[in-house]
A and B are shown apart, each in its own frame.
Chain A
Amino acid sequence: MAQLVKDLMHPGIITCQADMTLGRVAEVLIEQHLHALVVADRDGRLLGVLSDFDLMAAEWLSSDAKSLEAMRTMTAGELMTTPVDSVEAGMPACDAAQKMRSGGTSRLIVIERGKPVGIISTSDIVASMMRARPLGRMNVADVMSRAILVCREETPLCSVARAMTDAQFRSVLVVDAMGRPLGVVSGFDMLAYCGEDGCAEATAGQAMHEMLTIRPDASLREAADMMIQHHHHRLVVVDPEENEAMPVGMISTFDIVFEMAHPSSVWQQ
């Protein structure tokens, strides 16, 4: 059955007043782990939306002291996008996706019985797409993460920590200038550099551990076997025809467990 907007949305709406400065909006976005705030008047009526992308204007246009001062005094109500784009909670999610595409917008306010009840964003729709997978026993290519976080050997460890935290990744692949894989830095590897001084000086090349590689067509059983035998939590997936090329993905214990927990998995039948 087609998923509805209300199945994917984030319930509830976090609002700010129209007179909130851009600096304060940035603080609220970070505090609340949000990408956008809904701007509302004192009676709660929705006036517009201000996203983290809109906030880029503050940096973009502050090219001199005068411009910086103008941008510092600008408010959410002045920079917000209006009118507010909305969808009905009972609308199919794919229709909401189409509305986002045609309107060039990343989020929509969800309305039910004339009242705003939540927000649906591209991230919510993307998350729902990850669940659309065929039934059956999977192999590494079906389960691995194809999008991977990479850095160079000389990358400071504090930058690696920031990237892992921002992207919510638990490891980073270290590559050379040609994209060839050299090793992996995991959260565990970073524990050794926990002291402030150590982290400031260290690089990814120092912290990385030797990687284990696996073919995309290997079975999940083979992957699990390799992880257990070598006590590695993740494997780098490489094309056997191009061993030295940029890897095609990574597979972790989490990916395999996530697959086992999926309703269509043989483990749930």
Chain B
Amino acid sequence: MPETSIGMAPQGQAERAKFEQELQRIVAAGDAARLTLRVLGALAFRTHCPQFGYLQEKMGRSYTDIDFAAYARDSKGIRALMAGLGYAEDKEVFVVSEGSRAIFENPQSHIHVDVFYEKLDFCHVIPWNGRLEMDSPTIPLAEMVLEKTQIVQINEKDVIDMIMLFLEHGLGEDDREIINIKRIAKLCAEDWGLWRTVSMNLEKIDKLAQNYDTLNSEHKARVSSQVGEALRLMEAEPKSMAWRLRARVGDRVKWYKDVDEVK
């Protein structure tokens, strides 16, 4: 895993604070405008992990942008909100993505904001439908897990975020400070490809966590236990006929989209 990959570089306190303060400014403005705007990405993990969030800085995980999830019905409101906050939109992205994504840039701070409407659509599709109301100011913890584990070529920054999350939050069947593993298991039981990627990455996260000197043995055991339980519950979830049929074909046929195809 290259240490110079995006999101992995030493980052000073002032630079981190710049992103964190800007996030708070956008979230406060979004709340005031009654927009459903939820944070994802590195800042969501930092926000949701008050106890273990320090690991990001300690392990060299840096902020590069601010990502949000939103519903398409709010796209006009979000455009107006971001313009009011001094951001310029790259309108071509919204058009080319058929309204599923918007990118804003602040010419003063050079902070880049990405908004994903209705779904996250990279290696697999993670739909927001009705889920953004389950948590605030971030997307629900289950979607945070899926956001990271749906990436086939998962990288170090994603692994660090996931380790933090597993140390901070237990598994359960609701969304109140708990990773809703039932939601993850249900989505994976409908789509073999998603199951394949998520389970592969969970195993990878556990394996890599054991090699970090920054983590003590208790932390490593906790990550292992959480991953093991998540995999067990995903396995136990009843699978659809399509899932079982797809499973028989297995890795012979590609089960994910290349990220470059959707960018």
Residues on A with C-beta less than 8 A from B252 are: 70-71, 74
Contact A66 B254 (CB under 8 A): yes
- In the complex, whether B32 has a CB less than 8 A from a CB of chain A is no
Q: Which residues from B are CB-within-8-Å of A81?
A: 248
Taking the complex as formed, is B246 at the interface, i.e. its CB lies under 8 A from any CB of chain A?
A: yes
Does B241 reach chain A (CB closer than 8 Å)?
A: yes
State the CA gap A74–B251 with chains docked (Å).
12
The answer to whether B249 touches A54 (Cβ under 8 A) is no
Contact present for A74 and B249 (CB under 8 Å):
yes
Q: For the complex, what is the distance from the CA of A71 to the CA of B246, rounded to whole Å? A: 12
Interface of A: prevailing SS: helix
In the bound complex, what is the Cα–Cα distance between A57 and B252 (angstroms)?
Answer: 12
Q: Which residues of A contact B253 (CB under 8 A)?
A: 61, 67, 70-71
Count chain A CB atoms within 10 A of each CB in B248, B249, B253 and give the residue with the most: B253
Which residues of chain A have C-beta atoms less than 8 A from B262's C-beta? none
Residue B1 at the chain A interface, CB threshold 8 Å: no
- B245 in the interface (beta carbon within 8 A): yes
User: Does B254 contact A67, Cβ atoms closer than 8 Å?
Assistant: yes
Q: Does A78 belong to the interface (CB within 8 Å)?
A: yes
Which residues of B approach A to under 8 Å, CB–CB? 241, 245-246, 248-249, 252-254
How far is A57 from B243 in the complex, measured between Cα atoms in Å? Answer: 11
Chain B residue nearest to A62 in the complex (CB): B253
Interface size on A, residues (CB 8 A): 15
Q: B243 to chain A: closest CB distance in Å?
A: 12
- Per-residue B-contact encoding for A74-98, CB less than 8 Å = 1, 0 else: 1000111100000000000000000
Residue among A61, A66, A67, A81 with max Cβ neighbours from chain B (10 Å): A61
Smallest CB–CB gap between B197 and chain A, Å? 16
Q: Which residue of B lies closest to A104 (CB)?
A: B241
- Nearest-neighbour CB distance to chain A for B25, whole angstroms, equals 44
**Contact assessment for B254 and A54 in the assembled complex, using a CB-CB cutoff below 8 Å:** no
Question: In the bound complex, what is the Cα–Cα distance between A71 and B249 (angstroms)?
Answer: 8
Q: Which 9 A-B pairs have the closest CB atoms?
A: A70-B252, A67-B253, A61-B253, A70-B253, A57-B245, A79-B248, A57-B249, A61-B249, A54-B245
Rounded to whole Å, the gap between the CB of B20 and the closest CB of chain A is 42
Residues of B within 8 A of A71 (CB): 249, 252-253
Chain A residues closer than 8 Å to B248, beta-carbon distance: 54, 57, 78-81
Q: How far is the CA of A81 from the CA of B248 in the complex (A)?
A: 8
Question: Which of A61, A74, A80, A104 interacts with B246 by CB under 8 Å?
Answer: A61
**What residues of B have a CB within 8 angstroms of the CB of A78 in the complex?**
248-249
